[in-house]
């Protein structure tokens, strides 16, 4: 065995059992020092950072570090000395397997704790945290199992080929589930909507987002009905989010008056109605626009803002009612379409009058039975 340093040479000069015991004890002592000193340093670092995420991560790393050092002495002994006890499990592979399993369990556990401690902010949405936690657990488990197989000289090539075939079968069988899963990730990354937003779907349904899960989104309509829509459908559809970038929304109230009406007086009435409505906010200010000369009316449009998308229907109702009452009180006519039909006698066949005057049938020569 090639000895590369005076320390290794000194250990090799000792009897096998003494040198092996020294290395194991050194690993335990070093782990104890890391445990004691690491706790003090970790408290100083975590006290300066808000939240619990840093505490969970550093605690998991700290625990894994001193546990690794605890079995590190045993592994070092197997490298320096030809220790081959008559057991089914080799010490070298066994110690490394323990380290891999310990780190795998600690990282999975830390991921679960972090998912419960992450605060809701503009950068992290609570709805996507469980998804990321599941992906993290699956990734850590997969890497850990792969390292264990390589460590124990298990040929992973057939397993990878089989996993590819199984993955294709599962992907085809669960393509809708996978589409919804990746759809939820796309909706989150794009920031399409969040819980509490008012959205309008392509089907015309409008409501408040109640819940966003891995598979679907639940929307409560204005009729107080819960509609569950798969995320894959929403990811490929055009969605109008009425709550972004601001929650206040502008409403349009079209109205027509008869030709000959004083348009200045109409504008004053519409502005007065909007300013006296409590659901209409002051900023931005309401405004009136004379849109067009219609076939039967002069068409105006009252534009005003409400503080919440949920108030648009109620505000429109109240504004329409008040406008109608004010127009009636002011004697302003709201016209409706009228059509005049003129019939020229020159366009009527002459024999039609002859048949009617003589009582002759007009349906092909047969009297009605």
Do residues 206 and 200 lie in contact, with contact meaning Cβ atoms separated by under 8 Å? yes
Instruction: Describe the strand order of the beta sheet including 287-293 as a list of residue ranges.
Output: 249-257, 298-306, 287-293
Specify if 271 maps to a domain: yes
Instruction: Describe the strand order of the beta sheet including 226-230 as a list of residue ranges.
Output: 226-230, 216-221, 206-212, 198-200, 240-241
- Measured in degrees and rounded to the nearest 5, phi and psi for residue 71 equal -95, -5
Kind and range of the H or E element at 257?
Answer: strand 249-257
Structurally, the chain folds into a number of domains equal to 3
Higher pLDDT, 353 or 172: 172
Q: What is the pLDDT of residue 212?
A: 80
Residue 66 in tokens = 């001193």
Average pLDDT, the chain: 75
* 199 DSSP β-pair partners: 207, 241
Higher pLDDT, 286 or 47: 286
User: Shortest CA distance to 323 belongs to which of 249, 257, 251?
Assistant: 257
Residues 148 and 159 in one domain: no
Task: Give the residue numbers spanning the domain of 275.
Answer: 249-330
Do residues 302 and 255 lie in contact, with contact meaning Cβ atoms separated by under 8 Å? yes
- Measured in degrees and rounded to the nearest 5, phi and psi for residue 200 equal -125, 125
Do residues 299 and 291 lie in contact, with contact meaning Cβ atoms separated by under 8 Å? yes
Residues 196 and 277 in one domain: no
pLDDT digit string, tens, across residues 277-311? 999 998 889 999 999 999 889 999 999 999 888 88
Range with the poorest average pLDDT among 94-103, 242-251, 348-357: 348-357
* Letter string b/e over residues 291-320, b meaning 16 or more CB atoms within 10 A of that residue's CB: eeeeeebbbbbbbbbbeebbbbeebbebbe
- Give the residue carrying structure tokens 């005049």: 340
Residues 63 and 120 in one domain: yes
Q: Which of 118, 152, 186 is the last residue of a domain?
A: 152
Does residue 10 surpass a pLDDT of 70? no
Q: What is the pLDDT of residue 273?
A: 95
Q: What is the pLDDT of residue 123?
A: 43
Specify if 344 maps to a domain: no
Specify if 230 maps to a domain: yes
The C-alpha atoms of residue 221 and residue 227 are separated, in whole angstroms, by 7
The C-alpha atoms of residue 256 and residue 294 are separated, in whole angstroms, by 8
User: Shortest CA distance to 206 belongs to which of 165, 256, 243, 164?
Assistant: 243
Specify if 353 maps to a domain: no
Task: List Cβ neighbours of 86 (8 Å cut-off, separation of 6 or more).
Answer: none
Range with the poorest average pLDDT among 4-8, 145-149, 267-271: 4-8
Residues 304 and 320 in one domain: yes
Task: List Cβ neighbours of 367 (8 Å cut-off, separation of 6 or more).
Answer: 361
Taking the mean position of all CA atoms in its chain, how far away is CA 283? Answer: 31
Does residue 120 surpass a pLDDT of 60? no
* Orientation of helix 6-13 relative to helix 16-47, angle to 10°: 130
pLDDT digit string, tens, across residues 191-230? 788 888 888 888 888 888 888 877 788 899 888 889 888 8
Residues 96 and 166 in one domain: no
- CATH assignment of the domain containing 275: 3.30.70.100
Q: Which of 181, 215, 245 is the last residue of a domain?
A: 245
Residues 184 and 284 in one domain: no
Specify if 337 maps to a domain: no
The C-alpha atoms of residue 197 and residue 219 are separated, in whole angstroms, by 10
Cα radius of gyration rounded to whole Å, the chain: 40
User: Shortest CA distance to 302 belongs to which of 314, 284, 281, 320?
Assistant: 320
Residue 255 in tokens = 């109205």
Residues 54 and 95 in one domain: yes
Q: Residues of the chain with pLDDT > 70: what percent? A: 60
Q: What is the pLDDT of residue 88?
A: 44
Neighbour tally for 43: CB within 10 Å: 11
Q: Is the pTM of this model over 0.85?
A: no
Q: What is the pLDDT of residue 174?
A: 57
Does residue 99 surpass a pLDDT of 90? no
Residues 94 and 175 in one domain: no
The C-alpha atoms of residue 334 and residue 361 are separated, in whole angstroms, by 47
Task: List Cβ neighbours of 265 (8 Å cut-off, separation of 6 or more).
Answer: 330, 332
- Give the residue carrying structure tokens 């109409």: 266
Q: What is the pLDDT of residue 3?
A: 42
* 216 DSSP β-pair partners: 230
DSSP of 142-155: HHHHHHHHHHTT--
Kind and range of the H or E element at 13?
Answer: helix 6-13
Range with the poorest average pLDDT among 84-93, 149-158, 360-369: 360-369
pLDDT digit string, tens, across residues 49-78? 555 666 667 677 767 776 777 776 666 666
Average pLDDT of the residues in 163-168: 68
């Amino acid at each position: 065995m090639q000895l590369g340093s005076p320390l290794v040479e000194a250990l090799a000069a000792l009897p096998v059992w003494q040198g092996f015991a020294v290395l194991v004890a050194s690993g335990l002592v070093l782990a104890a020092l890391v445990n004691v000193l690491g706790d003090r340093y970790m408290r100083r670092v975590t006290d300066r950072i808000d939240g619990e995420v840093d505490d969970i991560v550093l605690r998991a790393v700290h625990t894994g570090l001193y546990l690794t050092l605890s079995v590190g002495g045993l592994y070092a002994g197997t490298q320096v000395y030809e220790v081959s006890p008559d057991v089914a499990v080799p010490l070298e592979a066994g110690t490394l397997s323990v380290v891999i399993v310990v780190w795998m369990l600690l990282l999975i556990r830390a991921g679960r704790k972090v998912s419960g401690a992450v605060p809701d902010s503009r950068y992290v949405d609570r709805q996507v945290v469980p998804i990321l936690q599941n992906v993290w657990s699956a990734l850590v488990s997969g890497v850990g199992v792969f390292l264990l197989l390589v460590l124990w000289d298990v040929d992973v090539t057939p397993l990878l080929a089989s996993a590819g075939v199984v993955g294709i079968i599962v992907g085809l069988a669960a393509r809708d589930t996978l589409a919804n899963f990746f759809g939820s990730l796309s909706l989150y990354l794009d920031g399409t909507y969040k819980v509490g937003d008012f959205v309008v779907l392509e089907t015309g349904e409008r409501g408040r987002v109640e819940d966003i899960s891995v598979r679907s989104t639940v929307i409560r309509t204005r009729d107080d009905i819960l509609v569950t829509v798969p995320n894959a459908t929403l990811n490929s559809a055009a969605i109008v989010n009425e709550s972004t970038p601001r929650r206040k929304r502008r409403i349009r109230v079209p109205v027509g008056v008869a030709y000959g009406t004083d348009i200045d007086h109409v504008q004053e009435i519409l502005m007065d109605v909007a300013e006296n409505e409590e659901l209409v906010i002051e900023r931005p200010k309401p405004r009136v626009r004379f849109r067009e000369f219609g076939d039967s009316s002069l068409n105006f449009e009252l534009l005003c803002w409400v503080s919440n998308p949920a108030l648009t229907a109620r505000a429109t109702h109240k504004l329409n009612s008040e406008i109608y009452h004010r127009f009636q009180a002011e004697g302003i006519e709201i016209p409706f379409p009228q059509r005049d039909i003129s019939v020229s006698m020159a366009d009527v066949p002459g024999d039609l009058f002859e048949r009617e005057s003589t009582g002759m049938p007009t349906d092909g020569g047969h009297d009605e039975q």
